[in-house]
Amino acid sequence: MKWVTRKRIHVNRTATAWLIRRFLDPKAEIVFVDANEVAAIQERENAIGFDVPGARYPHQDERGRCSFEQLVNEHFPNDAALQRLALIVHGADFPKEIDITPESAGLWAISQGFGDEVAKDDAEVVERASFIYDSLLVHLRRHGR
């Protein structure tokens, strides 16, 4: 399946791409484009858009959830660790709610370093940052969160 989002990713788009590749579609093609191109690609190529207005999974839905939370709630409603990770990502993605979990501020800070000096493009950011999300999920599962 093809997924599409806006380029220059940070916490939510990185987490969402990780979730897609780890749990929803390991062979997913994820493309990163200008925000104003997402809706057209979603329509023209039957792609699934995320983290941008007009996408199937918008940056913030009517319930206030980021795209990562939307996908976790839809596909993994009974996975306590992924649900907790969704709260962490939410807090890191919406700075006014950064205190929602103790981990959110750290994840926000780490994600601010994603970019040209860390990786050559968004696909490499996802590849390199996957270690962070894998590690955090293992921690949450070990501690029954």
Cα separation of the two ends of the chain: 31
The token pair at 57 is 């999974």
Residue 53 confidence (pLDDT)? 87
Asked if the model's pLDDT at residue 93 lies above 70, the reply is yes
Asked if the model's pLDDT at residue 144 lies above 80, the reply is no
The token pair at 137 is 């999920």
- β-partners of residue 2 are 29
- Using CA atoms, how far apart are residues 139 and 125, in angstroms rounded to an integer? 21
pLDDT (tens digit per residue) in 12-71: 999 999 999 999 999 999 999 999 999 999 999 999 999 998 899 999 999 999 999 999
Asked if the model's pLDDT at residue 126 lies above 70, the reply is yes
Asked if the model's pLDDT at residue 82 lies above 90, the reply is yes
